[in-house]
Structure 1
Amino acid sequence: MESVTTLGDLLVEAEQLFLSHGLYFGHGTTSAWDESVVLVSHAFHLGPDPQSDVLDKEVTEDHAKFFRGLCNRRVKERIPAPYLTSKAWFCGLEFFVDPRVIIPRSPISELVFYQFSPWLLRQPDSLLDLCTGSGCIGIACAYEFDEAMVTISDICREALKVARRNVEAHSLLDRVEIVESDCFSGLNGKKFDLIVCNPPYVDSQEFATMPAEYRHEPARAMLSGEDGLEFTRQLLREVIDHLNPQGILVVEVGNSAIALEKEFTEVPFIWPSVGEGDSGVFILSHELLHENSHFFS
């Protein structure tokens, strides 16, 4: 009598495989089990949040072979699961991703969920997602601020092709403008009520020691000079000319937050706490940017 393979069997098999090979989990999952669930959900079309009652479902040999092929690529090539499935989730929304863009995982998602309260004083009429990559932050903001006009921009033309695909998938072409721009240079002097940016911010030392999974993401979207602040300095110099009064700037700088505060010791950055602790995201109002502009010039 042939043995029967269930989804539960495959999940356990995958978890053990991932643990035995010391994989890194930081692209939407935090454990071998969660990573296994993502791949099972993709391989067997279970949706983003499969229920436990599917564990006893029997699978065919062909389906099991397909799933094991995904797991073997995850192990041998260290490809993050979202690149294997071409799907990532941000603010509860599905996005297409491939190696032209970094995988969405920004803590800014929690700030979007709360509409940047209490720092954003009014609903924005216009907002900018700078360094948009897949477009996830700008698209999520378009859902939260359903009367705002949204601009998403990136220096990378290939990344913008991914962003456009996501804008189209979410039926937002009437409200989301897609612009190729190096920082603010391609935005024709436009001003916004809200500017959100998840720029490159990884320093050269951290980049050299990152797990192999990160090597599949575009280096240009991560690396920003020796201290990780090359782009952020430019942003802080130029942003005051593109932010409306009462507007705010929201920027993720990750581990480079320490270097940022060390360089600009007198600037009162606001560091909202999200999730389980420090987010590496700062907020500056138009007023604070104006008052401290001499530090950035």
Structure 2
Amino acid sequence: MKNVKTEKLTEIITILDILRWSSSKFNSVPICYGHGTDNFWDETLHLILSGLNLPINIPTEMYHARLTTKERNKLIQLVFRRIIQRVPVPYLVNKAWFCGLEFYVDKRVFIPRSPISELIMSCFHNILPDKPHRILDIGTGSGCISIAIAMTNPNAIIDAVDISIDALKIAEKNIKYYNLENRITPIHSDIFSNILKLKYDLIITNPPYVNSTDIYKLPKEFLYEPIIALSANKKGLSIINKILKNAIHHLNQNGILICEVGVAKTALIEHYPNVPFQWLQFTNGGENVFMLNYEQILSFHYHTFTMRNI
């Protein structure tokens, strides 16, 4: 962090000063956004205000508040870690946002950012015939999807599964923070392995879908996240294949499967040319999330998974 010594950082006195300096720094270097922000100003606000334990929407009058020496030094170090080490902001401040809710995160867990948030915020309007009661969240990570659904649907009972025990510890922390222990159950499970014969109105998932050969081509920021939460073999389809193969055994007859597939969409369509994936539309950005109902899954399940070995 040699640049620290070449600047008059003692001139940074107020929150506004550190916001201006940080935004200039971020805008002058080729860092990659994509963990909750898409521009240098939002990145600055999330890092600086969260680093001060302040909400993002503080009155602008507070920007003129003076920083203590300890606060200034801490924030400067965070800015340089973001620039030089390329650590994503949510890991620097241990905070991420999803559906307007704050979640604790660290390097043990994937940073929330799925377009599924729009579906949750709309209470699955025009997607589900009724509000789902029993829900399975596969690959829960921080627990953000489960918690957001529970906060918008007070009748929802959710099983939140993950193969990572470390991730489940984070999920448990967030579930406890929102006092949802009675409605969300964290389960250590390799997809359906520990779910037994339970049936759900909704199975929802943002599984790993990056081809294992492409994982190290991602910007450095993404490589701080657990590889297990990003990478899947077989053109990114290994986890998605297992979900499609077994979802029929865990859905009610009126049940729905919603799955984000990201960059694996093309490979998925090529692998399952006869599956009637319904690709959901988003107004706030995002794509590559499909929906299938029980009848659609049942109609292709026998020929796809019984007649040939995937």
TM-score normalised by structure 1 residue count: 0.95
Is the 8 Å Cα contact of residues 210 and 232 (structure 2) preserved in structure 1?
yes
**Structure 2: how far apart are the matches of 1:4 and 1:95?**
30
Partner of 2:292: 284
Relative distance call for 1:160 and 1:3 in structure 2 (3 A) is closer
Q: 1:187 offset after TM fit, Å?
A: 0.6
Find the partner of 2:268 among 253, 260, 266.
260
Superposition misfits of 4+ residues, deviation over 4 angstroms = none
Moved more, 11-20 or 77-86: 11-20
Matches within 5 A, 1:24-103: 24-103=32-111
Partner in structure 2 of residue 203 of structure 1: 211
Who is 1:127 aligned against?
A: 135
- Unpaired stretches in structure 2, ≥5 consecutive residues: 1-9
Residue 258 of structure 2 corresponds to residue 250 of structure 1: yes
- C-alpha separation between the residues in 2 aligned to 1:182 and 1:210? 25
Aligned length, in residue pairs: 296
Aligned-pair Cα RMSD in Å: 1.5
TM-score, length basis structure 2: 0.91
Pairwise mapping of residues 118-267 of structure 1 onto structure 2 (< 5 A)? 118-267=126-275
Gaps of 5+ in 1: none
CA drift of 1:46 comes to 2.1
Tell me which amino acid in the other structure corresponds to 1:189.
K
The Cα shift of 1:35 comes to 1.0
Partners in 2 of 1:92 and 1:43 — Cα distance? Answer: 18
Amino acid of the residue matched to residue 141 of structure 2? G
Is contact 1:119–1:248 with CA below 8 Å preserved after alignment? no
- The question of whether the paired residues in 2 share the 8 Å contact of 1:21 and 1:75 is answered with yes
CA contact (8 A) 1:272 1:278 kept: no
**Structure 2 CA distance for aligned equivalents of residues 77 and 8 of structure 1:** 24
Could you tell me whether the CA contact under 8 Å between 1:233 and 1:296 is conserved in 2?
no
Q: Paired residue for 2:304?
A: 295
SS at match of 1:292: helix
Percent identity between the two aligned chains: 39
Distance in 1 of aligned mates of 2:57 and 2:286? 27
Q: Which amino acid letter does the alignment assign opposite residue 221 of structure 2? A: E
Distance 1:24 1:56 in 2: 29
Which AA in structure 2 matches 1:94? E
Contact 2:51 2:75 in 1 (8 A): yes
Structure 1 residues 65 and 126: CA distance shift in structure 2, 3 A: same
Q: Which shows bigger deviation, 267-276 or 20-29?
A: 267-276
